[in-house]
Amino acid sequence: MIEKRQFYINGEWVAPLAPRDHDVIDPSTEEACAIISLGTSADVDVAVKAAKDALPAWRATPPAERIAYVERLLEVYKARQQEMAEAISLEMGAPIDLAFAAQAGAGISHITNCLTAAKSFEWLHPLGDGTPGAMIGYQPIGVVGLITPWNWPMNQVTLKVAPALVAGCTMVLKPSEEAPLSSMLFAEFVHEAGIPAGVFNLVNGDGMGVGTALSGHVDIEMISFTGSTRAGRAISKNAAETLKRVALELGGKGANLVFADADDKAVERGVKHMFNNSGQSCNAPSRMLVERAIYPQALEIAKKVAEETKVGNPREHGKHIGPVINKSQYDKIQGLIEKGIAEGATLLAGGPGLPEGVNRGYYVRPTVFADCTPDMSIMNEEIFGPVLSIMPFDTEEEAVKVANDTEYGLTNYAQTQDPERLRRMAMQLQAGMIELNGQSRGAGSPFGGIKASGRAREGGRWGIEEFCDVIAISGYAAE
């Protein structure tokens, strides 16, 4: 049993003021794998004070020096990537190969992209309208609260911490209590990199306790939150009293439009993308809309891919999916699978219950529904599990209408070989990110959505800007 009962505050590991133990559950065994302590508002006060005290010196540190600290953090992270992968695999059930390459690897990519953006970031530049002395400056917003989820822990921690450090902010991180071990290991990386005391602080806790204390704290200037839309609304309301900036990256219900002229791998690619990370991705293409001319073939491919998708132990090497995070999530997924059947969708593969040969762990059968209609629950609710819903369409206009008819707007996808149609899809699909023909976002592109998916823009130059106040300067004396 791993014991991690301390918080990282002001450059030291310290005991919480009023310890309350919390079991971290290994979702592959349903048994506790670690014990942490959950904090209180008093612990938040101590951490925020440390961040506030460290702010003047850190914001006065030249950007080049702040960048150098983040470069050292990246070196430590790379050297300890295997440790990070093992922590993620244990706490949230990601298969170890996925945990190393994609989960832990995402942290390396995001820090690298942040550094690339930082080295060309203009902290002070002319407005550019021909007005002499008119300048635009960027100043750190101040002390920031960072609240991160369990499904891609390092993806979200690094998307927030690296740009906040570069921008000159100090911070308090609250990782998910479901998967805190990776963030506590990350705190070790921060310490090893020599980042000054108080700049980065970590307090474990739940949303109602530490999360609420952070989002309402008078000395925190900004909350950056990734998680559910429900929690995002609650955080926004709590933060309103102190008029702090709130950056939200929330849920999604991505549509994947597959036209008759799509490439041969389009359907297979979409199904595999949906099942990746056991379907626990906010940008998963969970609604596949297929042009009727190729609908029968698409169903055959989807069924085959689902049946060939292995479910297995996250500590074993190989291409398989692991469990979902906890019993609550497992039960929610099972309920929506049952609802899909009850509402008349055709169960093409998978279904309710544990996979064959499995008697413990929160494992879900890779499931595909066909003949779905836009009004079905499985076409509207974010399932957050390996469940794909497929429906046919007859016209491009119909497909776009169905794709956009959702409260969410994180990522939409389109597969076609028609260049004109690709251009139309890029501008007609309503989401913060549009991925065409299987092409991932470019390095340094912003990650974020619209509508109920939140409107944060994380990554690259946009990620740094989110942690800055933009200052309009007049009468500046040029050198």
In angstroms, the CA 141 to CA 465 distance is 10
User: How far is Cα 143 from Cα 170, in angstroms, rounded to an integer?
Assistant: 5
How many residues are recorded in the chain? 479
Give the active site residue among 249, 291, 396, 458: 249
**Exposed/middle/buried for residue 108 (C-beta within 10 Å: 0-12, 13-18, 19+):** middle
Alpha helices in 281-348, H assignment, sequence order: 295-308, 327-342
Cα–Cα dist 12/34, whole Å: 21
CA distance 291 to 228: 31
Integer angstrom CA distances of residue 92 from 152, 330, 347: 9, 13, 28
Nearest to 400 by CA among 293, 262, 289: 289
Structural contact between residues 197 and 224, judged by C-beta atoms closer than 8 angstroms: no
Contact between 413 and 267 under an 8 Å Cβ cutoff? The reply is: no
314 CB contacts (<8 Å, ≥6 apart)? Answer: 28, 89, 90, 93, 94, 95, 96, 99, 322, 323
Candidate list 114, 169, 282, 372, residue with the active-site label? 282
192 is catalytic: no
Other C-beta atoms closer than 10 Å to the C-beta of 144 total: 27
DSSP annotation of 303 reads: H
Please state, in angstroms and as integers, the Cα–Cα distance from residue 193 to each residue in 10, 12, 75, 162, following that order. 14, 14, 8, 13
Pairing of strands 135-140, 468-473: antiparallel
End-to-end CA distance of the chain: 61
- The encoded tokens of residue 212 equal 């609420």
Nearest to 16 by CA among 219, 177, 205, 218: 205
Q: CA-to-CA distance for 457 and 293, rounded, in angstroms? A: 37
Q: Is 282 a catalytic residue?
A: yes
Just list the catalytic residues. Answer: 249, 282
